[in-house]
């Protein structure tokens, strides 16, 4: 990887990081476990690595934005996540912020 | 699937023990569901090569496990600016203190190049020990602050608690020791420094260059210089050569415009060595009688008076030089602290 490519990759990851949290919070208005959430994101055009998404779910839960429960589905125990009440509130605020940034960037461009 | 079990086992080894079973169970459920989907799409189980490619695409076990860990720093971004400032200050002061200590030690013992070399060779060890100690302390601060947030005072000024009017006034452009020097000034310093050194080197063979007509008097007087002046002389020559070399390097590197307070302070600190040398001469003997057996009765009292006078003068100069050095160090530290405080607010 050249220096320019490396720089681009770092900036791209930085740009995506906040957006991924927003997308995960948005989709978790409905209950999902890790793999179906990953598929749902990919179907909407947002591919995300397993090693990024699954730890992210844990972090968001530790921050109180998600709640989870272990439940059996298809003869397998899975951990299902959904937004907590704090998560609802923060998601609303983040969404407004993202829309404002998006509108501003569009105006600038 | 054996390969998946091996993968999960490898991930588990790098996870915190309190949460590893829970994380592995969740990861297993997710990866098995993904595997089932893949196999359903293919209509057959993955062959070993496909299974390997799939796990390779998920990422190395250590990387997967690392993502579950909180981000850890030896010294994090919040503490780092303070750490860097303290590290530089500590290294600077330790260098000064060590130089003075070594100078005094060399002066008290019999001065020798071996002792000087030994002192110089120990500098890296002293600096590394200082840096390691400061780093260890700040790593402990980082560790504690990360584990007990809120219970530990913020290592840097919080962004909300400051008033612009409390900022120090703008520094005058011309500050003592920081005045930007012109190129001509820098060149003149090198030329005159060189001429001074040449003059200094000519003095032993041509004492009249230093004492004028007094040299003739010394030649016929009953007194002669004690050996300590030879050592004193070579220290002075060495210091001037060092200063000249320093200025010359500054000129070549194009850094002659920059402030030279640290450089001046270092030279001042080293300048204490020859003074210390004079003060540690046994019985304060700076002058001797050329013919003690003949002249002791006549000139003994005068000689004693001259030697005591020189001793007192050297002592007075040393005290002034130390006070001046301490004052300059204090000013530099205060300036550095003010700049730092202004930058952190």
Q: Which residues of A touch B32 (CB under 8 A)?
A: 76
Judge whether B59 is closer than 8 Å to chain A, CB to CB. yes
For residue A22, the model assigns a pLDDT of: 94
For residue B157, the model assigns a pLDDT of: 45
Residue B225 main-chain phi, psi, to 5 deg: -70, 140
Distance of CA A108 to the CA centre of its chain: 26
Taking CA–CA distances from A60, the nearest residue in chain B reads B68
Q: How many CB atoms lie within 10 A of CB B33?
A: 20
Taking CA–CA distances from B67, the nearest residue in chain A reads A55
Nearest to A54 among B30, B32, B63 (CB): B30
Residues B144-161 have a mean pLDDT of 64
Asked whether residue B105 carries a pLDDT value surpassing 60, the answer given is yes
Asked if A76 lies within 8 A of B29 by C-beta distance, the reply is yes
For B173, what's the count of Cα atoms within 13 Å in the CB-facing half-sphere?
A: 2
Judge whether B23 is closer than 8 Å to chain A, CB to CB. yes
Q: Which residues of B touch A36 (CB under 8 A)?
A: 33
CA distance A65 to chain B (A): 17
Residue B205: strand, helix, or coil: coil
Whole-Å CA distances, B146 to A55, B71, B81, B82, B151: 20, 10, 16, 16, 10
Give the mutation candidate from A55, A63, A70, A80 for the B interface (greatest B CB count, under 10 A).
A55
Q: Which of A53, A100, A104, A97 is nearest to A79 (CA)?
A: A53
A60: DSSP letter: H
Q: Which residues of B touch A48 (CB under 8 A)?
A: none
Selected residue with higher pLDDT from B170 and B277: B277
Q: Phi/psi class of residue B177: alpha, beta or left (left: φ > 0; alpha: ψ in -120 to 50)?
A: left
Taking CA–CA distances from A54, the nearest residue in chain B reads B27
Rg (CA), chain A: 16
Calpha distance B257→B168 (Å, rounded): 25
Calpha distance B287→A91 (Å, rounded): 88
Question: How many helices (H) and strands (E) are present in chain B, helices listed first?
Answer: 14, 2
Residues B146-170 have a mean pLDDT of 65
Judge whether A35 is closer than 8 Å to chain B, CB to CB. yes
Q: Which of A77-81, B19-23, B340-344 has the lowest mean pLDDT?
A: B340-344
Taking CA–CA distances from B60, the nearest residue in chain A reads A51
Distance of CA A65 to the CA centre of its chain: 11
Calpha distance B270→B262 (Å, rounded): 12
For residue B176, the model assigns a pLDDT of: 52
Q: Which residues of A touch B37 (CB under 8 A)?
A: 35, 39
Asked whether residue B342 carries a pLDDT value surpassing 50, the answer given is yes
Calpha distance A80→B8 (Å, rounded): 20
Q: What is the ipTM of this complex?
A: 0.83
Asked whether residue B109 carries a pLDDT value surpassing 60, the answer given is yes
Q: pLDDT below 50 — which residues of chain A?
A: none
Asked if B29 lies within 8 A of A55 by C-beta distance, the reply is no
Calpha distance B192→B187 (Å, rounded): 9
Give all strands (DSSP E) within chain B, no chain letters. 223-225, 287-289
Q: Which DSSP string do the residues of B7-46 spell out, in sequence order?
A: HHHHHHHTS-TTTHHHHHHHHHHHHHHHHHHHHHHHTSPP
Contacts of B322 (CB under 8 A, 6+ apart): B272
What is the widest separation between alpha-carbon atoms in chain A? 52
Asked if B27 lies within 8 A of A54 by C-beta distance, the reply is yes
Judge whether B10 is closer than 8 Å to chain A, CB to CB. no
Nearest to A79 among B26, B67, B68 (CB): B26
Contacts of A18 (CB under 8 A, 6+ apart): A98
Give the helix/strand (H/E) hosting A100.
helix A85-108
For B208, what's the count of Cα atoms within 13 Å in the CB-facing half-sphere?
A: 4
**Contact between A34 and B64 (Cβ < 8 Å):** no
For residue B251, the model assigns a pLDDT of: 72
Give the mutation candidate from B30, B35, B63, B72 for the A interface (greatest A CB count, under 10 A).
B30
Distance of CA B79 to the CA centre of its chain: 20
Judge whether B26 is closer than 8 Å to chain A, CB to CB. yes
CA distance A54 to chain B (A): 8
Task: Read off the pLDDT of residues B110-122 as tens digits, 9 standing for 90 and up.
Answer: 666 777 778 778 8
Q: Where are the domains of chain B?
A: 2-66, 80-159, 183-344
Residue B103 main-chain phi, psi, to 5 deg: -60, -45
């Amino acid at each position: 990887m050249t220096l320019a490519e490396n720089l681009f990759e770092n900036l791209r990851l930085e740009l995506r990081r906040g957006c991924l949290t927003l997308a995960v919070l948005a989709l978790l208005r409905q209950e999902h476990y890790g793999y179906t959430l990953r598929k749902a994101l990919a179907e909407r055009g947002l591919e995300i690595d397993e090693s990024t998404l699954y730890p992210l779910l844990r972090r968001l839960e530790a921050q109180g934005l998600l709640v989870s429960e272990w439940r059996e589905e298809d003869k397998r125990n899975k951990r299902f996540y959904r937004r907590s009440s704090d998560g609802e509130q923060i998601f609303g605020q983040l969404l407004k912020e993202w829309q404002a940034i998006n509108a501003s960037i569009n105006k600038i461009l | 699937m054996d390969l998946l079990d091996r993968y999960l086992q490898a991930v588990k080894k790098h996870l915190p023990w309190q949460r590893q079973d829970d994380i592995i169970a969740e990861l297993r459920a997710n990866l098995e569901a993904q595997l089932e989907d893949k196999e359903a799409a293919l209509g057959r189980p993955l062959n070993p090569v496909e299974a390997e490619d799939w796990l390779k695409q998920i990422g190395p076990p250590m990387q997967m496990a690392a993502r579950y860990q909180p981000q850890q720093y030896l010294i994090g971004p919040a503490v780092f600016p303070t750490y860097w400032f303290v590290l530089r200050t500590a290294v600077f002061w330790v260098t000064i203190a060590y130089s003075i200590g070594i100078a005094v030690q060399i002066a008290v013992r019999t001065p020798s190049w071996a002792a000087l070399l030994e002192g110089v060779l120990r500098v890296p060890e002293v600096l590394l020990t200082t840096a390691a100690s400061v780093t260890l302390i700040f790593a402990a601060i980082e560790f504690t602050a990360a584990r007990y947030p809120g219970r530990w005072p913020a290592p840097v000024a919080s962004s909300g608690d400051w008033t612009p009017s409390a900022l120090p006034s703008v520094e005058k452009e011309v500050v003592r020791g920081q005045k930007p020097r012109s190129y001509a000034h820098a060149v003149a310093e090198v030329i005159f420094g060189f001429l001074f050194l040449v003059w200094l080197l000519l003095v032993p063979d041509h004492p009249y260059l230093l004492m004028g007509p007094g040299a003739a008097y010394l030649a016929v007087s009953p007194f002669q210089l004690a050996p300590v002046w030879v050592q004193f002389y070579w220290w002075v020559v060495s210091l001037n050569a060092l200063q000249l070399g320093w200025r010359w390097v500054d000129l070549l590197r194009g850094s002659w415009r920059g402030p030279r307070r640290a450089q001046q302070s270092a030279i001042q600190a080293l300048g204490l060595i020859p003074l210390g040398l004079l003060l540690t001469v046994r019985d304060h003997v700076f002058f001797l009688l050329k013919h003690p057996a003949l002249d002791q009765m006549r000139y003994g009292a005068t000689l004693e008076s001259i030697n005591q006078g020189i001793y007192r003068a050297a002592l007075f100069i040393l005290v002034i030089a130390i006070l001046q050095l301490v004052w300059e160090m204090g000013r530099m530290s205060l300036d550095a602290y003010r700049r730092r405080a202004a930058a952190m607010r």
